[in-house]
Amino acid sequence: MGGCNDATSEKTLEPHSVLFDSVTVIDAKSGERANYYVLISGNKIVEVSDKPIESPSNCTVVNGKGKYLIPGLWDAHVHVTFTPGLEQSMFPLFLGNGITSIRDTGGLIDEILPWKEKSLKEPNSTPRLFIAGPLLDGYPNVYNGSPGRPEISVGLKSEEEAIKMVDSLAVAGVDLIKSYEMLSPDLFNTILAAAKKYNLPVTGHVPLSVDAIEASDAGLRSMEHLRNVEMSCSSDFDSLLQARKRMLAKGTDYPGGELRSDIHSAQRMHAFKTFDEQRASQVLAAFKKNGTWQIPTIALTTGGMNRLYEDEEWTKTFKFLPETIETEWIAAANKAKEKQSSDISLAHGEWVLMMVKKLKDSRIKVLAGTDTPIGFLTPGFSLHKELEMLVKGGMQPLEAIESATLLPAMYFNVQDSIGTIDKNMIADLVLLEANPLSDITNTRKINAVVRNGSYYNRKALDSLLNSN
């Protein structure tokens, strides 16, 4: 193949032609296609064929024998600006782990916007970024800048304020709106109506003052962490809701974080113990009927069960963090190791695993998201842990891949340009050394990543990961 370069010896960052020669192509639309040929030119996939493709001049040919090509991955729940000093490491850690698109689910608008602009300006070296702006919370708000709760929310006090906030976020260019737990039913509905004007999906934690079925019926597009859904699946769902409303009414002088913790302490364990199959199927039926997507963040919510902070393979990923952050995480991990996991965190993990199976069986759409950098979930690496946990929860490996490729693309209605491997799609791809369908943890065996047509071989990926 005259004029072609060998991709294994060369680091190529500028978009040009790349030919994957006899590779196994895997995506959620077509399943597994062995011995395929995929040609990329500029930032597009220009041909996908089971017949050999003539390589154009000046192209890179990648020998795909024994390798697996999947669409670029998404992490659908991240907080780029959560930890000061970590922001600038987020993009390289995502890209270095094959994550070519991310959905930021909460950060102050002035802090997240520059990252959005950077990702638009430099599409070949950053993941595509979808943003929500701040958590729209009621008052008292939870993430208010108090210790352990960085200021990533706004506490709304009136309907006028809520409408103004949604207007300003829409003008600023957010891709979705995030509603939070302390909202009153009125403010929650106001936000949904205001976002509808702009066609912006609203995702959220189910407000403590609202039942999960009500929230779904009201038009909440997606729910994060299955948060507060456990209370709605209890046989005592109604008395628990009334008790929450009383606590919220009495607690207006409390800091939001404390008030929320008190309510959770009073109700969650009881909710897990009084889980009611029949009531849960009503909740799931509402999600199905309304098209309420779920982002269970299962690697996070099984944290007490998995104790990643004492898993030596896992804590090795901390070395890719900036040094000061690495030191902080190691200290926090050592502290966490000394404590036993609480009964409630174990019950929570069991419950979420069970619910993931039910979501799958009910054919409710699930997105893979991690909540990184919260909960020792190292940016980038944690998405692969999330995929592993989704399979542990009962998904097939291809379904887990779908939740991190095609489904998030559909969520934002960009499935015509990303999420599958087809002609005319944008070239966001991950080349794996082993088959992810036989073992989902093979998504970690990354040989190369293509972002918007730019080819990152293993060496280039390692230097991205080590750039922090």
Site residues (vs Zn ion, CB under 5 A): 105, 371
Given the complex with Zn ion, which of 20 and 381 has the nearer CB atom?
381
Given the complex with Zn ion, which of 79 and 268 has the nearer CB atom?
79
Give least dist CB 189 to Zn ion, A: 23
Give least dist CB 63 to Zn ion, A: 40
Given the complex with Zn ion, which of 80 and 418 has the nearer CB atom?
80
Give least dist CB 107 to Zn ion, A: 10
Given the complex with Zn ion, which of 105 and 144 has the nearer CB atom?
105
Give least dist CB 102 to Zn ion, A: 12
Give least dist CB 144 to Zn ion, A: 15
Given the complex with Zn ion, which of 105 and 382 has the nearer CB atom?
105
SS (H, E, C) the chain: CCCCEECCCCCECCCCEEEEEEEEEEECCCEEEEEEEEEEECCEEEEEECCCCCCCCCEEEEECCCCEEEECEEEEEECCCCCCCCHHHHHHHHHHCCEEEEEECCCCHHHHHHHHHHHHHCCCCCCEEEECCCEEECCCCCCCCECCECCCEEECCCHHHHHHHHHHHHHHCCCCEEECCCCCHHHHHHHHHHHHHCCCCEEECCCCCCCHHHHHHHCCCEEECCCCHHHHCECCHHHHHHHHHHHHHHCCCCCHHHHHHHHHHHHHHHHHHCECHHHHHHHHHHHHHHCCEEECCHHHHCHHHHCHHHCHHHHHHHHHCCHHHHHHHHHHHHHHHHCCCCHHHHHHHHHHHHHHHHHHHCCCCECCCCCECCCCCCCCHHHHHHHHHHHHCCCCHHHHHHHCCHHHHHHCCCCCCCCCCCCCCECCEEEECCCCCCCHHHHHCEEEEEECCEEEEHHHHHHHHCCC
Give least dist CB 299 to Zn ion, A: 12
Given the complex with Zn ion, which of 12 and 105 has the nearer CB atom?
105
Give the residue nearest to Zn ion (CB). Answer: 371
Given the complex with Zn ion, which of 60 and 105 has the nearer CB atom?
105
Give least dist CB 79 to Zn ion, A: 6
